[in-house]
Structure 1
């Protein structure tokens, strides 16, 4: 594995000295936001992680290597290239490495690479899940299967609002993945703090989450945990407004015949257009909020282990 994985100096030092580390994905840079907001957001995410006592490890595939920890120049490259960069899930990793295809890692790929590097906590915006009308399309994100099998705790603002949240929760329950609300009983719906669905457990502090991680590890329970962290109240959008935009975007997407891994970037972009940029501002703020909590959790895990 060492011949395929490359740690930045900062991350290598953190691994060597057993410092807290937070993994960050790169699909949000190349496919989640327009340039230059994508680069600005990625760099600010890293700073927030540092400010809260952990080392950031943004993950991507570059020049045939699993890169754990990106330079500012590498982040800018991903941002400028945008959707020219291959959106890479777990399925694509080996092929991209073999053919030296640059890849922006999704939740599933980031989780896999993070575990290989010994990183236990990962911050993202929202996970993928069961898509609407999945009973006909069988469109279910690989993120859910990764959560069932990979020992990484994922901090997100719930699942993306474009998904079928009820079926996403059912899938996670079937796979034995704990869905834990951070100071909430409800599953956040990405842009909105609230939904009609309940989480499995409600925790009140990063320390409690860290205790859960270490207890789960001690018991040998396979798989990750999903920490559902609501978007800050100041930036939360009304459910009705977002649902109306999603429904319109879905109709237009179907008329254009967009399917598979192109659906999420299209829908998120269309929702930004329909909400006149409000959803993008909310997206950025919820990612910052998740980075802060993830760093606090990683720090508390480190305190338990030292």
Structure 2
């Protein structure tokens, strides 16, 4: 059901009204993912990839306190230029940003919320947040996991970010009843790498089968999202053991510098980029494009 609380572009509104496939995209990836103009170019390339595979892209953001599904090229560019000045918004931040009529860049959690309000079921991102390494003492657990437990949106991602404790992230998702499905893979990818040492709940070979599973879940009234893990294309995958070394070095430096809370993810991702001589950035771009393609294919299969 479409909500009056979300302002849609004409293209997104018409697609939803006519049962056409729509894919939600987050805006934190634009504002906080990389510098301008790379972030602007990537945002347009991701939207282009969704269109190329038969679906309508709906980039989600908050602009002047208004929840938005679908942005104009001009709005995407404004977001890309403002970059880190825009507040990163998760569930807890939405009411503040709306009431203060500010701009907000949506994370996985807040994109899921706005997508569901708009009536969009499929969302493509980079990687989901999860349980941080050392969370047994810090309690640093991403709001993405709570959202996946309660919001009916499927998230196509390259697994959980490799800086996380992936084993504990999977345990948490299991507790919340969230299926973790591998798209043409039995191995759970870890963002930059095609494997993590962990398995998915089930390997699903086609977009049609994936769409049937999503329909079954929600028709049965089983609340919550689904993680669809889609590995980065082989040509861009980084070496798993090498990445573990890089991440451990980044974690050591983070702890020495006393970086905590919401500053930890940007710090670690920046450090990983530095330690991999920028290779992780190219991998990041390619995995997002690949997720947009698969998300569009699943959205097309669902609309049929």
Q: TM-score, normalised by structure 2?
A: 0.97
Specify the alignment match of 1:72 in structure 2: 73
Residue pairs, 1:85-234, within 5 angstroms: 85-234=86-235
* 1:255 Cα offset (Å): 2.4
Specify the alignment match of 2:42 in structure 1: 41
* 1:263 Cα offset (Å): 1.3
Specify the alignment match of 2:267 in structure 1: 266
Across the aligned residues of Structure 1 and Structure 2, the Cα RMSD in angstroms comes to 1.1
* 1:55 Cα offset (Å): 0.3
Consecutive unaligned residues of structure 1, counting only runs of 5 or more, are none
**SS at structure 1 position matched to 2:59:** strand
Question: What is the total number of aligned residue pairs between the two structures?
Answer: 303
CA contact (8 A) 2:154 2:227 kept: yes
Offset from partner CA, 1:269-303 (integer Å, 9 cap, x none):
11111111100000000000000000000000000
CA contact (8 A) 1:122 1:294 kept: yes
Specify whether residues 2 and 22 from structure 1 end up closer, same or farther in structure 2 by C-alpha distance, changes over 3 A only.
Answer: closer
Offset from partner CA, 1:5-64 (integer Å, 9 cap, x none):
211121111122221100000011111222221111111000000010100000001101
Specify the alignment match of 2:244 in structure 1: 243
- Higher mean Cα deviation, 283-292 or 256-265? 256-265
**SS at structure 2 position matched to 1:258:** coil
**For the residues of structure 1 that align with 2:70 and 2:64, how far apart are their CA atoms?**
14
**For the residues of structure 1 that align with 2:266 and 2:54, how far apart are their CA atoms?**
32
Q: TM-score, normalised by structure 1?
A: 0.97
- Higher mean Cα deviation, 234-243 or 153-162? 234-243
**For the residues of structure 2 that align with 1:252 and 1:72, how far apart are their CA atoms?**
39
Consecutive unaligned residues of structure 2, counting only runs of 5 or more, are none
CA contact (8 A) 1:32 1:268 kept: no
* 1:136 Cα offset (Å): 0.5
Residue pairs, 1:270-289, within 5 angstroms: 270-289=271-290
CA contact (8 A) 2:178 2:227 kept: yes
**SS at structure 2 position matched to 1:140:** coil
**For the residues of structure 1 that align with 2:68 and 2:160, how far apart are their CA atoms?**
26
* 1:2 Cα offset (Å): 5.5
**SS at structure 2 position matched to 1:221:** coil
* 1:253 Cα offset (Å): 1.7
**For the residues of structure 1 that align with 2:94 and 2:39, how far apart are their CA atoms?**
23
CA contact (8 A) 2:27 2:60 kept: yes
* 1:217 Cα offset (Å): 1.6
**For the residues of structure 2 that align with 1:266 and 1:301, how far apart are their CA atoms?**
38
